[in-house]
Amino acid sequence: MVSQFGDKDKDRQNFFTQNNSCTRIDVFEELSPTNEAALRQFFRRLGAPQYVDEVIIPTLRLGDASVYAAVRDRPWPPWGLGARTFSAVCVVHNVAPESWAPSPVFTADEEGTNIGLIGALYKEVLEALAVSRTSEVCYLAAEGSVLADRVLERNGFRRDDDVFMTEHARYFTYRAPAHELLSNLRLDDVSVPDLLAYDFPAEVLDRNALYHLGILLGARPGLTDRQRPEIIDLARGGHASKPGGVPGGTGTDLGTDQFGGLLGELPYVSLGRFLGSDAENLMRNVLEREEKFQPATVLPFGSTSPFVDERRRRGRTLDDVGFIYDAFVDRLKGALPGALSRMGIEGFPVGRIELQVTASGDGDYYRMHRDADAESTRALSFVYFFNAEPRRFFGGELRMYDDRGVEGVAHANCSQLLTPRQDMLVIFPSRLPHELLPVRVPSQKFADGRFTLNGWIHRAEKC
Ligand SMILES: O=C(O)CCC(=O)C(=O)O
Ligand SMILES: [Fe+2]
């Protein structure tokens, strides 16, 4: 190995080699009291003491997560509280099979430029993941990021359309196979001791400096509340498309039973007590047909036949709705003129009305999508909510976005979140981007899930 920055040449003593010579990398999945104390001290010094209680401890408790720490031990006694200090920390958690989200490599302020140390820690992370050839590393970077996009793409990450929305920005998922990243960062043929001793070629320094500083500085604002980070952590279940990373609660719930919502340009109508006492019959009929439910499908624009795609949607649907179709559609047609006028939409000749029942169980969701493109005759979408009483699921909000802007770009700060309410119907234009946030059903029982009668009102085609 060509030594460029090491302390072999006394004239070129490296600023960090002394520190690094007493550093080792430790990995743990549970917090011993000594490690917990060291971790708390580390994040307190970073000015983000809450990160331990709000992120690391819950993440470890969920399982499939590890903390990698650059550790310095007290000379004597090397045990007991205070025996360790951490100089760099990286938390890695599993987000989906073979998919891992490492946090940035956090460093104590005085180690921020210690790329040998950061590289050594990250090498340990990547080598553990690269044991499986198919395991990949993921980061989320905000739309419009320049540096994050550059450092990730340069190191072999590919951006895909898994979009996460927060109140701050739209974030894209970047993924790279762990073993490729290891070699792209030139960490594959330099050992951890050599990294710590700065005994490596300049290219290792360049690549790792830009990569880690780009990611750390991009993520740093997220350590403090209410900031707008360029890079965020990928929530567990978030990759492969369970949109667990979308925080709820950024919209407002409806305060009344009969209300036309107009948030900026966002027109929709919700009608409470829509079926009244018929809702109970509906629930009974649906539960009797549990066996007939099929995995929910999607039909992306341009595709000719629907297919199951769990990256986009997870749930079960029942298309055989003869037992309710006429009664429901009659009521819907009756409500339509009033609803249209409240939405400020002109009346149109109504064509076909599609209807299905959707059962959303624990962990189900439907990512942001539109129900119609410009060519579609689908004019309005509707969602009628019903559930067993008392309600035994949570989550499952319907979120609608403003559709201003170019195709596919929704506005995080202009969305409306609707909490499912027994016997409530929501109608909105099918072109509006919307999503069903993840549903949680602690009992895991079918009957306790989120149910909807949902469908589409077509504009009659001219003959
Ligand atoms: O259930 C919901 O809230 C939305 C369902 C939906 O978007 C759809 O079926 O197209
Ligand atoms: Fe939809």
- Residue 369 CA to ligand 1 center (angstroms) comes to 9
364 lines ligand 1 (CB under 6 A): no
Residue 13 or residue 291, greater confidence: 291
246 lines ligand 1 (CB under 6 A): no
Residue 414 pLDDT > 90: no
Which of 120-124, 287-291, 399-403, 423-427 is predicted least confidently? 399-403
- Residue 432 CA to ligand 1 center (angstroms) comes to 12
Looking at residue 253, its pLDDT comes to 28
Report the pLDDT averaged over residues 121-140: 92
pLDDT grade for 7, boundaries at 50, 70 and 90: low
DSSP 162: E
Residue 128 or residue 239, greater confidence: 128
Nearest partner of 436 among 372, 324, 361, 379, judged by Cα: 361
Nearest partner of 332 among 263, 383, 388, judged by Cα: 383
Report the C-alpha gap between 378 and 357 in whole angstroms: 18
Question: What ligand has the least distance to the C-alpha of 385?
Answer: 1
Report DSSP letters for 376-434, one per residue. --EEEEEEEEE--SS---EE--EEEE---SSTT---TTSEEEE---TTEEEEEETTS-E
Nearest residue CA, atom 7 of ligand 1?
435
pLDDT grade for 9, boundaries at 50, 70 and 90: low
Nearest partner of 101 among 260, 215, 224, 249, judged by Cα: 215
Looking at residue 235, its pLDDT comes to 63
Residue 231 pLDDT > 90: no
Looking at residue 77, its pLDDT comes to 74
- Residue 370 CA to ligand 2 center (angstroms) comes to 6
Looking at residue 412, its pLDDT comes to 47
Residue 320 or residue 261, greater confidence: 320
Taking the domain 10-241, which CATH number applies?
3.40.630.30
Looking at residue 252, its pLDDT comes to 25
pLDDT grade for 330, boundaries at 50, 70 and 90: very high
pLDDT grade for 287, boundaries at 50, 70 and 90: very high
Report the C-alpha gap between 87 and 71 in whole angstroms: 6
Residue 403 pLDDT > 70: no
108 lines ligand 1 (CB under 6 A): no
Average pLDDT, the chain: 84
What contacts 24+ positions apart, CB below 8 Å, involve 190-194? 190/1, 190/119, 190/123, 192/25, 192/120, 192/123, 192/124, 194/1
Residue 235 or residue 183, greater confidence: 183
Report the pLDDT averaged over residues 133-148: 91
Report the pLDDT averaged over residues 294-318: 90
Residue 151 pLDDT > 90: yes
Residue 405 pLDDT > 50: no
Nearest residue CA, atom 10 of ligand 1?
371
317 lines ligand 1 (CB under 6 A): no
Residue 407 or residue 40, greater confidence: 40
Residue 165 pLDDT > 60: yes
Fold agreement between 10-241 and 258-459: no
Residue 8, token pair as written in the block: 């072999």
Report the C-alpha gap between 85 and 91 in whole angstroms: 16
66 lines ligand 1 (CB under 6 A): no
Taking the domain 258-459, which CATH number applies?
2.60.120.620
Domain boundaries along the sequence of the chain? 10-241, 258-459
Looking at residue 3, its pLDDT comes to 57
Nearest atom within ligand 1 for CA of residue 369: 7
Output b/e per residue, 188-207; b: 16+ Cβ within 10 A.
eebebebbbbbbbbeebbeb
Instruction: Record the pTM.
Output: 0.56
Query: Which tens digits make up the pLDDT trace of 176-200?
Result: 999 999 999 999 989 988 899 899 9
Name, in order, each residue with C-beta under 8 angstroms of 257's C-beta and a sequence gap of 6 or more.
270, 271, 272, 273, 424
Looking at residue 316, its pLDDT comes to 98
Residue 408 pLDDT > 50: no
DSSP H helical ranges for 220-311 = 278-288
Nearest residue CA, atom 1 of ligand 1?
436
Report the C-alpha gap between 239 and 55 in whole angstroms: 18
- Residue 354 CA to ligand 2 center (angstroms) comes to 12
Query: Which tens digits make up the pLDDT trace of 24-64?
Result: 899 999 899 989 999 999 999 999 999 999 889 988 988 88
Query: Which tens digits make up the pLDDT trace of 337-388?
Result: 999 988 888 999 999 999 999 999 998 999 888 898 888 899 999 999 999 9
357 lines ligand 1 (CB under 6 A): no
pLDDT grade for 240, boundaries at 50, 70 and 90: very low
pLDDT grade for 249, boundaries at 50, 70 and 90: very low
Q: Using the structure block, give the residue that is written with the tokens 């700065």.
A: 198
**126, 183 Cβ separation under 8 angstroms:** no
Which of 5-9, 14-18, 94-98, 330-334 is predicted least confidently? 5-9
Looking at residue 12, its pLDDT comes to 55
Query: Which tens digits make up the pLDDT trace of 266-280?
Result: 678 888 889 988 888
Looking at residue 129, its pLDDT comes to 93
Degrees, nearest 5: CA angle 417-343-381: 60
Looking at residue 406, its pLDDT comes to 36
Report the C-alpha gap between 397 and 264 in whole angstroms: 20
Looking at residue 258, its pLDDT comes to 32
For this complex, say whether ipTM is above 0.85.
yes
**398, 422 Cβ separation under 8 angstroms:** no
Residue 233 pLDDT > 50: yes
254 lines ligand 1 (CB under 6 A): no
pLDDT grade for 8, boundaries at 50, 70 and 90: low
Report the C-alpha gap between 297 and 314 in whole angstroms: 8
Residue 168 pLDDT > 60: yes
Nearest residue CA, atom 5 of ligand 1?
436
358 lines ligand 1 (CB under 6 A): yes
